Amino acid sequence: MAIECLVLGAGQEVGKSCVVVTIGGKRIMFDCGMHMGHHDCQRYPDFARILSATPGATDFTSAISCVVITHFHLDHIGALPYFTEVCGYNGPVYMTYPTKALAPLMLEDYRKVMVDHRGEEEQYSYEDIQRCMKKVIPVDLKQTIQVDRDLVIRAYYAGHVLGAAMIYAKVGDAAMVYTGDYNMTPDRHLGAAQIDRLKLDLLITESTYAKTVRDSKHAREREFLKAVHKCVSGGGKVLIPAFALGRAQELCILLDDYWERMNLKIPIYFSAGLTIQANMYYKMLIGWTSQKIKDSYTVHNPFDFKHVCHFERSFINDPGPCVLFATPGMISGGFSLEVFKRWAPSEKNLVTLPGYCVAGTIGHKLMSGKPTKIDLDKDTHVDVRCQIHQLSFSPHTDSKGIMDLTEFLSPSHVILVHGEKPQMAFLKDRIESELGMPCYYPANNETVSIPTTHYLKINATEKFITSCTAAQARDGLEKANLLCGNHLSGVDGDVKADEGILLMEKSMAPKILCEDELLQLLGTERHSVQFESLLSSRVEEVQTTIVDDVVSEF
């Protein structure tokens, strides 16, 4: 038996994660994402390959046993409505409760941006999203789901974003884990990934930061707080452009905590309705956050931010210091751009950019060097005199974390996805040399085949067991004697070997038995063959020399 792993997306790149794995005849699709960088047919995974790899299957529903989505980011879920509603997949789709709750928000938000702002052709409609979400079966952490008679899946906590999961799948004896995106260090609102030690044939892991080792988060947090505090105590305004989900909540917890400790009275605002909605979801989905929040929410729900005040658009012209979280991140447009235009010209103000900014956005321009003037279009310019602070918070694990997880799970094989090729090559070498596991990083549309273990249940006859235990007892006694002399270190070789005969017959369970039982079973007598060594010697030779020769033989 083997595991076939077809990488439809996120092979040697980041974007449109989609891996189709075949175990023992069952076909599972992990994630169904879209690529944000492409605007043509490359945007979606090449689903047709599934059909061509499945002889005899006419549609996706028969070709694929189930689809499992790890979390709500678009590069993991973006193609799902397309796959179910346009391609016509009708089978089960699994995702965690938070993902199911938050995914429609994300999908609809993106659809609007695509259709309304860019004027692109609609790939799927709002109704499609709703119909698609109806097909979703929500799962809980560590809940074992029997998809069909052979296939079992289970979700484990992955950190990363609210509701992110790592997926364990098992058919017969073959088992594997698909990590999705995960984080091995906890942040302010989410815990670290957590999984049991499992017997695995294959681990498919993300490798976004295959080469980077990040240092302590504390220092970065401290710098961020210092910068913000300095700005507001100087009477400045702080703009934090962030996406609605995840980063904004994390930073806000951090600030809220600091405000409390330092007894600051400066208001913190959230700009958009989506963020408010997201905060509501976070408040409801407390069970999926970090231990600290779980511990404290009975007293005080940390997402009930004490220092966050009601916001209205007119506030941006008010005097006095404040902190504002505005969507979208990267200052790619919308409200965050509007605020930026107002605030950037004052050197008292601060713009904090959490995380990565895509090339072409204003965020990217601010991060690459310190511009004094930014051209929005031909006629509009913004003078940038404010301070820029860059934060490198990332919800992905670093190289150390990937190694730690791989070592902890100790799978037989590792496949890397969701990363950049040169870094993946580096990590592959490390995994192979340091952990001794074969490792692959296939490109898109490549297939990797991996052998699996097969466990055989063997019956042992009573006689065999008795003889084994007798031998062990004898062994034990000898060792006990040794021990009395305080030679404990001398007997650490604890391997006990016994001899038996493994009998495998067709249509019968395999069996292990003793030597004489075999004779009985076969109904034959014991034949003995004896060997004798022969010395050739010539009679003519003198008697004494023969004697000498024989002596020297032995």
Partner 1 sequence: MDMDEDLPASEPCPTFTNLASFTGPSASPSSYAGPEVEVRALASMATALYPLARAEGLRGLAAVLEKGNAGNGVAEYCYGCAAELLRDEDEDIRLVAVRLAGICVEKIAMREELSGDADQIDLIFLQLSSMARDMCAKVRIEAFNALAKMQRVSDGVLLQSLSKKMIKTDTGSATGKKISPKLVFPCAAGIFAHGIEDEFYQVRAAACKALGELAKFSNQYAQKALDLLMDMMNDDTEAVRLQTLRTLLDMATYGHLSVQEKHMHMFLGILMDANVIVRNAARKILGLVKLPKLQMFKSALDGLIAGLEKDPEDQEIYGVLFSIGKNHGSFSANIAKHLAKEISMASDGELILDKPRIKALLIVSILAPCSVDKEKELDIPAVIFSHAIPLLGTISCALGEDTQDSLLSHLFHRCGLPFWGKRLVSSDGKDSECFSVETADGTHAQIGKTAMSTNCLDEVVIMQSARLILETVQGAWAMRKSCIIGEVQSTLRTCKEEVNILAVNSSGSAYGFLSFVSDYIDAVQLIVEMWRFVQSENSYAFGSTSQDILLEKFDTSVRRMKCCYVGLHRELEVQVLELALLAILFRLSELAICSELVLDKLHWITNHLDGLCADGSYELSDFSQEVKKSFDANCIDCNPAVNICSFLEIFDLKPATNFGMVNARSAVLKVCDTDTDTENPLSCVRGLPVGVSFDVSLQNIACHDRIWLRMIAGESIQHVFLDLSCFGGDDKVKSCSTVIPFYATPMACSFVLRACLVIECPFGSICDHQEGHGGPRDCVVQLCDELDVYFVSADMSKGGG
Using the contact rule CB under 8 A, the part of the chain among 5-13, 79-87, 104-112, 256-264 near partner 1 is: 256-264
Q: Does position 300 bind partner 1 by CB under 8 A? A: no
CB of 414 to partner 1, least distance (A): 14
Distance (Å, rounded) from C-alpha 535 to C-alpha 474? 41
146 phi/psi in degrees, rounded to 5? -90, 100
Q: Does position 250 bind partner 1 by CB under 8 A? A: no
Q: Does position 217 bind partner 1 by CB under 8 A? A: yes
In this chain, which of 119, 146, 219, 497 binds partner 1, going by CB under 8 A? 219
Q: Does position 551 bind partner 1 by CB under 8 A? A: no
Cβ atoms of 18 and 9 within 8 Å: the answer is yes
Question: Is the CB of 62 or the CB of 290 nearer to partner 1?
Answer: 290
Question: Is the CB of 211 or the CB of 342 nearer to partner 1?
Answer: 211
Distance (Å, rounded) from C-alpha 327 to C-alpha 317? 18
Token code pair at residue 178: 């698909």
Q: Does position 141 bind partner 1 by CB under 8 A? A: no
Q: How many CB atoms lie within 10 A of CB 209?
A: 20
In this chain, which of 142, 214, 348, 421 binds partner 1, going by CB under 8 A? 214
404 burial type by CB count under 10 A (0-12 exposed, 13-18 middle, 19+ buried): middle
CA dihedral for 59, 31, 39, 328, sign (positive or negative): positive
Is 122 catalytic? The answer is: no
Question: Is the CB of 169 or the CB of 331 nearer to partner 1?
Answer: 169
Pairing mode, strands 350-354 and 387-391: parallel
| x-or-dash string of contact with partner 1, 446-475, rule CB under 8 A | ---------------------------x--
Determine the 3-state secondary structure of 69 from DSSP.
Answer: coil
Q: Does position 152 bind partner 1 by CB under 8 A? A: no
82 burial type by CB count under 10 A (0-12 exposed, 13-18 middle, 19+ buried): buried
Q: Does position 173 bind partner 1 by CB under 8 A? A: no
Number of residues this chain uses to bind partner 1 (CB under 8 A): 48
CB of 188 to partner 1, least distance (A): 8
Distance of alpha carbon 78 from the chain centroid:
18
Angle at 158 between CA 155 and CA 161, to 5 degrees: 115
Question: Is the CB of 81 or the CB of 191 nearer to partner 1?
Answer: 191
Q: DSSP per residue over 231-270, as a string?
A: HHHTT-EEEEE--TTTHHHHHHHHHHHHHHHHT----EEE
CB of 482 to partner 1, least distance (A): 9
Using the contact rule CB under 8 A, the part of the chain among 83-91, 92-100, 123-131, 480-488 near partner 1 is: 480-488
Q: Does position 286 bind partner 1 by CB under 8 A? A: no
Using the contact rule CB under 8 A, the part of the chain among 17-25, 106-114, 193-201, 231-239 near partner 1 is: 193-201
Tell me which residues in 379-408 interact with partner 1 (CB under 8 A): 398, 400, 403-404, 407-408
Tell me which residues in 265-284 interact with partner 1 (CB under 8 A): none
Q: Does position 429 bind partner 1 by CB under 8 A? A: no
Task: Exactly one of 206, 221, 250, 517 is catalytic; name it.
Answer: 206
Distance (Å, rounded) from C-alpha 285 to C-alpha 278? 10
Q: Calculate the alpha carbon distances from 228 to 124, 233, 258 in Å.
A: 42, 8, 11
Determine the 3-state secondary structure of 22 from DSSP.
Answer: strand
Q: Does position 410 bind partner 1 by CB under 8 A? A: yes
Q: Which residues partner with 178 through β-bridges?
A: 167, 204
Residues found near partner 1 in the complex (CB under 8 A): 185-186, 191-199, 213-219, 221-222, 257, 261, 263, 290-292, 398, 400, 403-404, 407-408, 410, 430, 434-435, 473, 476, 479-480, 483-484, 486-489, 492, 494
Catalytic site residues? Answer: 206
